[in-house]
Amino acid sequence: MDYKIFKNMLQLYIKKNQILNLILFVAVITIVSYGVTYNTPVLKGLNVEIVNYFYEVLVNISIGYVVSLIFYVLVVCPSQAKL
């Protein structure tokens, strides 16, 4: 693929999908924060098992979103750029 075509396609994606990129940023921050804070203690008064369960669910949803967005970028964006 030519560099100019890739650059134009990337600029078009960034302009058209700002909300998707914002959600991607939040998802990546969630995944990274889970990895960093995995072994840290929970605040007093909170049940560790419940907090870890919901945090893991949130991380799994974030990973699913990142994978879905990668699929979207690889399949849908090139076909939109051709139109």
60 conformational bin, left if phi > 0, alpha if psi -120 to 50, beta if neither: alpha
Q: What is the pLDDT of residue 63?
A: 97
> What is the total count of domains within the chain?
1
Q: Is the pTM of this model over 0.85?
A: no
**What range does the domain containing 46 cover?**
17-82
Does 60 reside within a domain?
yes
**Per-residue confidence band for 81, with pLDDT thresholds at 50, 70 and 90:** low
Q: Is residue 2 part of a domain?
A: no
Instruction: Give domain status of residue 29, yes or no.
Output: yes
Separation CA 36–CA 42 (nearest Å): 13
Q: For residue 70, is it within any domain?
A: yes
62 inside domain: yes
28 CB-side CA count, 13 A: 8
Q: What is the pLDDT of residue 59?
A: 96
Supply the pLDDT for residue 1.
56
